[in-house]
Amino acid sequence: MKKIIIDTDPGQDDALALMTAFGAKKEIKVLGITCVAGNVPLDLTSVNALKICELSGVYDVPVFRGSPAPLKRNLITAEHVHGKTGLDGTELSVKKKELELMSGVDFILDCAEKYTDEKITICALGPLTNIAKVLKKSPRVKDSLEEIILMGGGFFEGGNITPAAEFNIYVDPEAAKIVLGSGVKITMLPLDVTHKTLVQRDFLERLRVSGKNSAMEAAKLLDFFERYDVEKYGSQGGPLHDPNVIVYLLNPEIYNGKLVNVEIEVNSELTRGMTVVDWWHVTNRKPNAYYVNEVQENKFFETVLNKVLNLEI
């Protein structure tokens, strides 16, 4: 059973990713959730993680506050996509679950020391600030990491916050540069693949008619979330970015990509946060990431639906 830490900035699509992971108890063990500022500020992303745990009936997974701001930049958030709370679309509350006192960065470091023999996988759904801090604080921690699977970047699809950059990388490009240069095994799920997993009407309907409160609330969140992307792209539904990280972890065989070099632009304001992907191997730069650009869409939705409906409430 794989042991994972989910680093996240919930976000409606982060919420669905968490719920997918919670519903996969037979395949993975979620050691903890570390929160980072991104879609909304840290105070909100931390509370949102607690809300999704309670919605899913999960009380045994600790939640930690991580970084409130990028390494060197002012924080840029995405309320225009996710709403003021980050989870607009439904009214969720926190009744029992509380944040842990330890910082998210220290929790990751503790897990790295504890699980040296059974390496851990970090599933990164937001800006990479926490993970970069971990790698800077203790470079040897990479020996305890099986892999970092992250949602971020874009090459064929361009960007979604600027013409050149995807949001997670744009928010903290310096952190992304540290992570991509760490030597840890990295899998990237960029816009090139997440734009192929657009919310489907029948998927939402199956959540709604399930009779499970968690699934019905997930449908409300997605109804709100996709309105921005449908208007922006003129597509049939909004892309489910972050659940791809968890589905890849569970079913890597439904994805396809290529081991390539990926560099992060940190100097230019025009192309800040651009993921420069050497897809055609036209440089001599060493490959540092498995860059995914294809997915079997129906199997993706089947996995998410099965796991979310596997939740107890």
Give the tokens for residue 243: 């659940």
Neighbours of 88 (CB within 10 A): 17
Domains and CATH numbers, the chain: 2-308 (3.90.245.10)
pLDDT of 233 reads 55
Instruction: Determine which one of 80, 82, 195, 241 is catalytic.
Output: 241
pLDDT of 126 reads 98
Neighbours of 137 (CB within 10 A): 12
Give the tokens for residue 47: 């509370």
For the segment 124-146, the average pLDDT, to the nearest whole number, is 95
Check pLDDT > 90 for residue 204: yes
Peptide bond preceding 11: is omega within 30 degrees of 0, i.e. cis?
yes
Task: Say if CB 262 and CB 159 are below 8 A apart.
Answer: no
pLDDT of 229 reads 53
Check pLDDT > 90 for residue 198: yes
Check pLDDT > 90 for residue 259: yes
Cα–Cα dist 40/300, whole Å: 27
- In this structure, of 90-94, 129-133, 224-228, the range with the lowest mean pLDDT score is 224-228
Q: What is the pLDDT of residues 236-248, one digit of tens each?
A: 678 999 999 999 9
pLDDT of 282 reads 98
Check pLDDT > 60 for residue 228: no
Cα–Cα dist 259/277, whole Å: 10
For the segment 17-33, the average pLDDT, to the nearest whole number, is 97
pLDDT of 235 reads 55
3-state secondary structure (DSSP) of residue 118: coil
- Where do the H-state alpha helices sit in 184-278? 191-194, 201-208, 213-233, 243-250
Q: What is the pLDDT of residues 73-119, one digit of tens each?
A: 999 999 999 999 999 999 999 999 999 999 999 999 999 999 888 89
Check pLDDT > 80 for residue 3: yes
Q: Binning pLDDT at 50, 70 and 90, where does residue 141 land?
A: very high
- Percentage of the chain beyond pLDDT 70 is 96
Check pLDDT > 90 for residue 290: yes
Task: Say if CB 129 and CB 158 are below 8 A apart.
Answer: no
**Which residue has better confidence, 107 or 140?**
107
Q: What is the pLDDT of residues 63-86, one digit of tens each?
A: 999 999 999 999 999 999 999 999
Cα–Cα dist 85/253, whole Å: 35
For the segment 187-210, the average pLDDT, to the nearest whole number, is 95
- Percentage of the chain beyond pLDDT 90 is 90
pLDDT of 200 reads 87
pLDDT of 237 reads 74
Check pLDDT > 90 for residue 256: yes
**195 given a catalytic annotation:** no
Average pLDDT, the chain: 95
Q: In degrees rounded to 5, what are phi and psi of residue 158? A: 70, -145
Closest CA to 275 of 158, 184, 171, 131: 158
pLDDT of 29 reads 97
Check pLDDT > 70 for residue 226: no
